[in-house]
């Protein structure tokens, strides 16, 4: 039980004293960047999927 208490104390010390937390503005900016990048990647994957779908449909019609 002492090891678990020690682990808890070390964890709390790390989170309170050693972690550098972002400011609210940095957090909002990072969130916006992640959202924009996610939308761009989703659109790219969607377009690739539609392109492959078009190509495979054309190939199936040929045979």
Q: What is the pLDDT of residues 21-46, one digit of tens each?
A: 999 999 999 999 999 999 999 999 99
Domain holding 52, by residue range, is: 20-63
Task: Please count the structural domains in the chain.
Answer: 1
Residues 6+ apart with CB under 8 A from 30: 22
CA distance 12 to 19: 10
CA distance linking residue 29 with residue 35, whole number of Å: 10
Q: What are all long-range contacts of 39-47, with beta carbons under 8 Å and residues at least 24 apart?
A: none
Q: What percent of the chain has pLDDT over 90?
A: 94
For residue 5, tell me if it sits in a domain: no
Q: CA torsion angle for 12, 15, 16, 17 (degrees, to 10)?
A: 110
pTM: 0.67
Let me know if residue 44 belongs to a domain: yes
């Amino acid at each position: 039980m002492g090891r678990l208490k020690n682990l808890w104390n070390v964890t709390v010390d790390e989170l309170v004293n050693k972690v550098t937390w972002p400011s609210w503005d940095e957090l909002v900016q990072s969130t916006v960047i992640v959202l924009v990048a996610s939308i761009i990647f989703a659109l790219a994957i969607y377009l690739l999927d539609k392109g492959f779908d078009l190509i495979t449909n054309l190939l199936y019609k040929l045979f």
